[in-house]
Amino acid sequence: MKLVDLPQAVLDDLCQDQQWRLDIDPGFDSKHEFWMAWHHFLKLPEESYFPRSEDSLAEFLTLEGYPLLLPVPRSHHASITPIRLISSADQQTVTLFLQDAYHRDWFTEPTDARYGFLAIADRYQKFGCDFYLASYYHFSYLVGKDYEAAVALLAQKLDEYPNTH
């Protein structure tokens, strides 16, 4: 599934600020959480204070068979690793722990794997579409088995990154 394949009615629906809000904490050096409207991740503004491209928009990720729309730029997708995905019994909500190692200077040692994200996505079934849309996306410290899995995954990534450590 691709964002460009969505019917215009879906994009219009998701851009309704009062209907589809996103509670977000972008992490690392962020001091506060805040809410954002999905339109910031779905379409380029006509005017912007800083240059934006298609790579700064969201795009679907398919993780463990679930099509997910997360408030993450497309440019991050290659650096995103799912740590744990939990589906509700009725499959209407997905909770996801993930690691986004896009900012490689934050991830120079395997122990840096403690920095992760928590996403909660609800099923969107309108206009003939069926996917999961994040309503919550927060920085989270990974602990326990999630941390152990993240350390192993990051160690593998660090071996793949040339000259980063």
pLDDT digits (tens, 9 = 90+) for 19-76: 776 766 655 554 555 567 787 888 755 655 556 677 778 899 999 999 999 988 888 8
What is the per-residue pLDDT across 98-149, written as a single tens digit (0 to 9) for each?
Answer: 988 776 777 788 888 888 889 999 999 999 999 999 988 888 889 999 999 9
Distances (CA, A) of 106 to 79, 134, 165: 12, 24, 11
How high is the pLDDT of residue 45? 59
DSSP character for 136? E
Q: Which amino acid is at 121?
A: A
How high is the pLDDT of residue 165? 43
Kindly tell me if the per-residue pLDDT of 158 is higher than 50: yes
Q: Note whether residue 165 is domain-resident.
A: no
Domain count, the chain: 1
Of 58, 47, 82, the C-alpha closest to 4 is: 58
How high is the pLDDT of residue 68? 95
Of 81, 93, 103, the C-alpha closest to 136 is: 93
Q: Which amino acid is at 107?
A: F
pTM of the model: 0.84
Kindly tell me if the per-residue pLDDT of 86 is higher than 90: yes
Of 116, 137, 114, 111, the C-alpha closest to 41 is: 137
For residue 150, what are the domain limits?
3-46+54-160
How high is the pLDDT of residue 67? 97
Q: Note whether residue 134 is domain-resident.
A: yes
Residue 104 in tokens: 């490689």
Distances (CA, A) of 25 to 33, 91, 137, 140: 4, 25, 6, 9
